Amino acid sequence: MIVRTAASGFTHPTSSDITSQAAYQSRREWMQRLALGAGGASLAAWAGGDALAQPATARPGKLAALSGARSSVAGAATPEALTRYEHASAYNNFYEFGTDKAEPAVNAKSLPTRPWTVAVEGLVSKPRSFDIDALLKLSAMEERIYRLRCVEGWSMVIPWVGYSLAALIKQVQPLGSAKYVELVTLADPKSMPGLRSNVLDWPYVEGLRLDEALHPLTLLAFGMYGEVLPNQNGAPLRLVVPWKYGFKSGKSLVKIRFTDKEPRTAWNVAAPQEYGFYSNVNPGVAHPRWSQATERRIGEEGGLLAKRRKTLMFNGYEPQVGQLYAGMDLSKFF
Ligand SMILES: Nc1nc2c(c(=O)[nH]1)N[C@H]1C(S)=C(S)[C@@H](COP(=O)(O)O)O[C@H]1N2
Ligand SMILES: [Mo]
């Protein structure tokens, strides 16, 4: 995006996807755990592995509403090795708390996540404001293990906990004229030091076409690794759209608005030639300043020198979402 670190611009010349011994072991263990019926909690413990050294910030812990029930949604469980919790909760993009990857984990401690309400409004027959505790009970929680691909060229594998955004959308009954969903996130100058920077127009706004928002893979997440979301990952609730670049997955949502026009999104406003409305992961469409053909899996042995993986069309979710874009020129609608 605008502020780039050396790491994000790094491109290793080879791009073949290798399976390291460590990743293989992890995968095997994961499969065994699946066979044993392990839920989110033990998955979480395993994800920490031998690196269960104290994370940078205290973990928020469990919440009764969070369940580790595995999802039956197609594509919602990749058998790849999970990214370690310590990486997923300490290497973050959350510009409201600073543009450096390490800043959100430190600065977001001050984010007040209670009380919290989400206004759902616009072209719906039942506009309503939901309290976070009502949202936690709105639908059955499940664990979804998704790849997360940042537009900067790195990726993670994260076990989220939540339910499909569609469950919430059903409650408000969109009108026939509703074609898009605008997702607005918190902009609180008191708790968010990053708002002093004009790197983006605040609040951070994202958007989806209504059919994308209704897709079962589109997740409203309240937790990760079997626990409550850490503030730096978007507490108390965030979106996760696994086939799109990570910036489409807005954190700390406060408003969901149904519209008949394509919403103006924060990154599209900031740099329209670089960040389109769709932002589907696409190895064939380069960012104007770097290739999107490969990615670096965070935490993988070798660090910056680790072999980069091939980026998959729609981040590997093409069987599930490809039909949403049938007939569209994806280099035009990037
Ligand atoms: N409100 C808000 N949401 C945001 C961002 C942000 O800066 N502000 N960054 C996005 C980007 S670029 C990415 S890659 C993901 C990162 O999510 P994670 O830190 O949980 O891995 O959050 C997205 N959601
Ligand atoms: Mo990102």
Distance in Å, CA 179 to ligand 1 centroid: 24
Q: How far apart are CA 328 and CA 77, in angstroms?
A: 28
172 part of a folded domain:
yes
83: Cβ below 6 Å to ligand 1?
A: no
For 207, residues 6+ apart whose C-beta sits below 8 A from its C-beta are 180, 181, 182, 183, 262, 263, 264, 265, 277
Closest atom of ligand 1 relative to the 92 alpha carbon:
19
Alpha helices in the chain (DSSP H): 6-9, 21-36, 40-48, 85-88, 103-107, 132-137, 165-172, 210-214, 266-270, 318-321
CATH number for position 127: 3.90.420.10
Instruction: Give the pair of three-digit tokens for residue 67.
Output: 């369940």
Nearest-CA neighbor of 144 among 68, 201, 213?
68
**Nearest residue by C-alpha to atom 21 in ligand 1:** 92
161 lines ligand 1 (CB under 6 A): no
Q: How far is the CA of 246 from the centre of ligand 2 (A)?
A: 4
185 lines ligand 1 (CB under 6 A): yes
The answer to the question of residue 330 being in a domain is no
Burial of 304 (0-12, 13-18, 19+ CB in 10 A): exposed
**What is the number of other CB atoms lying within 10 angstroms of the CB of residue 14?**
8
Q: Is 128 contained in some domain?
A: yes
Is 100 inside any structural domain? Answer: yes
Is 204 close to ligand 1, i.e. is its CB under 6 Å away? yes
Q: Is residue 331 part of a domain?
A: no
Give the C-alpha separation, 22 to 81, whole Å.
9
Would you give per-residue pLDDT tens digits along the chain (334 residues)?
443 333 333 322 222 222 333 343 344 344 444 433 333 333 333 333 333 334 556 899 998 888 889 999 999 999 999 999 999 999 999 999 999 999 999 999 999 999 999 999 999 999 999 999 999 999 999 999 999 999 999 999 999 999 999 999 999 999 999 999 999 999 999 999 999 999 999 999 999 999 999 999 999 999 999 999 999 999 999 999 999 999 999 999 999 999 999 999 999 999 999 999 999 999 999 999 999 999 999 998 887 788 899 999 999 999 999 999 999 999 999 9
- Which two three-digit tokens encode residue 253? 């949502």
Q: How many Å lie between the centroid of ligand 2 and the Cα of residue 234?
A: 13
Cβ within 8 Å of residue 190, ≥6 positions away: none
Ligand 1 in reach of 96 Cβ (< 6 A): yes
Which range marks the domain in which residue 30 is found?
A: 2-325
Take residue 291 and report the two structure tokens written for it.
């290739």
Count H helices and E strands in the chain, helices first. 10, 12
**Is 302 domain-assigned?**
yes
Residue whose entry in the numeric block shows the structure tokens 């066979």 = 35
**DSSP at 302:** T
Smallest CA separation from ligand 1 atom 14, residue: 246
- What separation in Å is there between the alpha carbon of 37 and the centre of ligand 1? 31
Sign of CA dihedral 187, 252, 8, 105: positive
| Closest C-alpha residue for ligand 1 atom 20 | 233
- Pick from 92, 87, 99, 220: nearest CA to 161: 220
Q: State the total domains in the chain.
A: 1
Q: Does the beta carbon of 243 sit less than 6 angstroms from any atom of ligand 1?
A: no
Q: Is residue 97 part of a domain?
A: yes
> Is residue 282 within 6 Å of ligand 1 at its C-beta?
no
Ligand 1 pocket, 244 CB below 6 A?
no
Judge whether 334 lies within some domain.
no
